[in-house]
Structure 1
């Protein structure tokens, strides 16, 4: 007996020695030999269990436990020894093995409800969210008062973008277990996805009070702070994450994004370059890197980053891929050297990947097909707050004929303010869709029996194109925001004007049918609070000041070359470049260096950011548009301030926004069709100071009298379009 004990001891020491030096394969082989001889030895089982787990042989460890049971050895109550194995797999994050082991055990012990929870955790951790929800739904039915199960089920629902459904389960988990910080974290995520950021922040802070050393809670807190534009707090949260867990690479995409939104672009790019190697396998990293590259006018590199982000298989979280693809399309619109046909091909790919699947939701409509009845019009946009769309959207809403049209707002603004409150007075029905899933929004639009659904977002952030792909209304159209096709074959019309639709082949680069209005594609109502007219700056300066309030992404190498040529042709002239992208001093100097390569002195370049825009415009004599992506709002603001504006007629339709505005303002003479003509028009204006003085004094009056600010006429034009769209639908249905 003593000899046998010594033999066990010796074999155990050999197993432990192998484990001590990390040789788990040898430890596993020694453990197999040990248990073959002494299968009932508890110490041997404990040692061998870890070796099995470390070498990916979890099932083998479970088989030994089953063998001990069959041999009549009394184990811990219930299946606790099995749970120990699963907990060990969880602690070392071997989730595929944990899934395999859970399934193996469920097959043998189908009445053990707790095993469903372990399987659900393994599925969640391997991003198998749909199956995780199904498994955990069973667990909730069997264990309705188990806080861990409730919390995990809530996590699954949040991961499937069903946050509203998750909230009751997560609140119940917290009620049952007030110190279960994981449930707090999951609830915070649900509230954040629903746009209830302040509530989410409070919940995250509660989780931190319970478990102050959990880095991922700080990461999620940072996301909520970023959403509320509290960028300093967000950045501090991400720094806390790295303090707690320096190797947590998943935090870097969020850190980079917060720096970008705080307009610390140079710092964001430096950080992204520094961590590229460790983050190369994280798609969110490439998406965040693409965003900051885009906003720093590195268009080619941004496109490469987006393509890299899309190269990962993220089928379970399609909204991520969809958002990245929208950002890729957005970026391509600004590229100076890509053809319209090539860009449109990428939009068609978007439709194939994200639009075509929506057709499985298409079904008939119950609306009465009466061509002359009062129509229900739905506007879908996140822009129902103090954002530039108000200058164009409010004039239409103010003049809508409510005897002919019943208006519905499907609103998901990032915040609500005084402008939101005003929008609410313009609609018979206001529907807050921020917490709605795509399924819920589609059904709500159908229940409201919307006749014509208008997308006012395109591929901008928080768009609802995935819902439009499901065709929830008989007629749908895109208008105003974004400035180009959505790419979706599900959307019937793109509402535009003759200036944008002009030219052979324009229809071929739109997925929607072009609907050309009688007049302009939109009208402009300025914010006049600080827009008093001032004398021409050149009179007091003694030189001409050109200017652009455009984002950096529009100022490509072709634009820089032409603008430099204009400055070179007008001695002592200056160039103002002013927008939020140039708040970063490093970005300012990088842009200046592009002009200095053409011999333009640094002191002639006034690059930076100040607000409001009116104060900057008062310093400018002549406005210069970018191409191939024109300006929109800033062009109209310039005209309103008495500033003539040179624009280029370029590829459809982002390259024709300037032409659209200038035709509506009755000044088509400022539209150029070549770079040479563009420069000549700017130089000719600069030499005619008398004309500039006249325009400074009278251009506002001309604009106010033009179609560009004729609000009633525009409203009637849009309503005529809606009525004709509906009539075409009715006629088509009848045939």
Structure 2
């Protein structure tokens, strides 16, 4: 990408492209190829355009987006920054910068960019959804504020479709076989599928007929396995919302279940059209959706204790009897290894969560933990170089030397799992706890210490750890978080015992009991269906 370096150094030459294509045509080609995933062709079109117009803001920005997708973070930041200097009122530029900063683990900077995008264009769908994804990670954002922000999204983007709702022709028989539809953009190798696959495998086919509406274009072996659990399967990526809603009505779906919330590749605007009489949010997204057309939210009594969190949701809560997650470890995961502290003599603490969840306050607490355990180390996985300076700065401010901190890039599953051989204690993030990362760490024998809050994103650790008998590692204050983590890091014999017995503990807990879990889920579906039939 030599031209990119020339652009950034101001050496791009005003040399016309080989053909006589106009600037407008080059811009159309760049946009079209980028949307179609043809990054190389998009890059060439942008470069030709910049040769014609070196200060073309959108061409520079699109090159920044391409650099982002090619994992050239430094170039992406510079190009996006340059484009915003040239066109500071372009909301999409600020939105894309916010997405990049989120990925790099700079949540406060990301939030500022996304809020700037929304000041410029309050109806910018991408910026609002990116902000909704980020908000649970920010200190000081509680359940009521999360609900208000989500309902503002619904007011702007979902409410206009309420008038399109039509009566449903589903037969109101409370005990008949139910037609249940699942909608997801993550029917592939993804965290959601780890928890969804055991459900699809264990649905009672006499009680439930399953349909899946798959919105991910990338499909793999996991997709193929999930497909086998469905009586009907539709690849809906590329379909417009009206077409998807019509398909769901044609399939006479009784209960439509959203698995994506406001995550990428969601189809919430299909749910806004109310194509099924009962609509439920489940699994993939922890806060409310904000949509009045989604009737219920699946949770459990520890994630959402009765009387504590109801005001955080636009949906009514349906609580499973046990943990709200049913975990299916990947078959390729390695066996549990001894705690590294046995060999090293000191503990290694770690975070494997999305770096956007690592707040400045978390880093301050981690520094205090390291002070309490002399010689201990901190490993932070999944970070890009351009996001590390903030973390090191906060740790240095807490008196932690750089040599006690190790960063690792994002990595493929085998390398990621192997990394747990070097981890003694996983430090959960707050106010947005880990989910999949905690399950994987526990299955690999690594204990997790979690700080609990009073809204659902801050209570995932409560449910997971309590259900496997490790409630002692769930704390309710920052002081307890430091105390419990430090005490565990100093107790090498306990680390060894925990690690050796962790899988047996999980297997005995019910966290892997997919048949029982799925019966509980079906009971909630039945209760919601009976309520609809009664109202008819």
TM-score by length of 2: 0.91
Deviation at 1:421, TM superposition (A): 1.4
The whole-number CA distance in structure 2 between the counterparts of 1:504 and 1:285 is 42
Structure 1 partner of 2:443: 640
Matched, 1:330 2:112: no
Q: Where does 1:217-232 land on structure 2 (aligned, <5 Å)?
A: 217-220=28-31, 222-224=33-35, 227=37
Matched, 1:417 2:220: yes
Matched, 1:277 2:85: yes
Matched, 1:588 2:391: no
8 Å contact from structure 2 (residues 64, 78) kept in 1: no
8 Å contact from structure 1 (residues 290, 306) kept in 2: yes
Structure 2 partner of 1:615: 418
Deviation at 1:260, TM superposition (A): 2.8
For residue 698 of structure 1, the aligned residue among 474, 488, 501 is 501
Partner deviation per Cα, 1:472-520 (whole Å, 9 max, x = no partner): 1000001111211111111001100111112644100111001111111
Gaps of 5+ in 1: 1-207
8 Å contact from structure 1 (residues 424, 430) kept in 2: yes
The whole-number CA distance in structure 2 between the counterparts of 1:585 and 1:388 is 24
Please say which structure displays the higher CA radius of gyration. 1
Structure 1 partner of 2:15: none
Deviation at 1:221, TM superposition (A): 5.2
Structure 1 partner of 2:14: none
Deviation at 1:572, TM superposition (A): 0.5
Report SS of the residue matched to 1:389. helix
Q: Structure 1 pair 216/642, CA: closer, same or farther in 2 (3 Å)?
A: same
Partner deviation per Cα, 1:115-141 (whole Å, 9 max, x = no partner): xxxxxxxxxxxxxxxxxxxxxxxxxxx
Partner deviation per Cα, 1:403-460 (whole Å, 9 max, x = no partner): 1111111111131111111111110101111121111111111111100000000000
Structure 2 partner of 1:268: 76
Q: Structure 1 pair 252/512, CA: closer, same or farther in 2 (3 Å)?
A: farther
For residue 398 of structure 2, the aligned residue among 598, 601, 606 is 598
Gaps of 5+ in 2: 1-17
Deviation at 1:687, TM superposition (A): 2.1
8 Å contact from structure 1 (residues 412, 433) kept in 2: yes
Report SS of the residue matched to 1:338. coil
Partner deviation per Cα, 1:583-637 (whole Å, 9 max, x = no partner): x333234422221121101111111124332111111011100000000101011
8 Å contact from structure 1 (residues 547, 620) kept in 2: yes
Q: Structure 1 pair 448/209, CA: closer, same or farther in 2 (3 Å)?
A: farther
Q: Structure 1 pair 356/215, CA: closer, same or farther in 2 (3 Å)?
A: same
Deviation at 1:470, TM superposition (A): 1.3
Matched, 1:375 2:175: no
Structure 1 partner of 2:522: 719
Aligned length: 515
Partner deviation per Cα, 1:7-27 (whole Å, 9 max, x = no partner): xxxxxxxxxxxxxxxxxxxxx
8 Å contact from structure 1 (residues 409, 430) kept in 2: yes
Structure 2 partner of 1:559: 362
For residue 329 of structure 2, the aligned residue among 526, 530, 534 is 526
TM-score by length of 1: 0.67
Deviation at 1:233, TM superposition (A): 6.7
8 Å contact from structure 1 (residues 218, 240) kept in 2: no
Structure 2 partner of 1:289: 97
8 Å contact from structure 1 (residues 496, 515) kept in 2: yes
Report SS of the residue matched to 1:490. coil
Quote the RMSD (CA, aligned, Å): 2.1
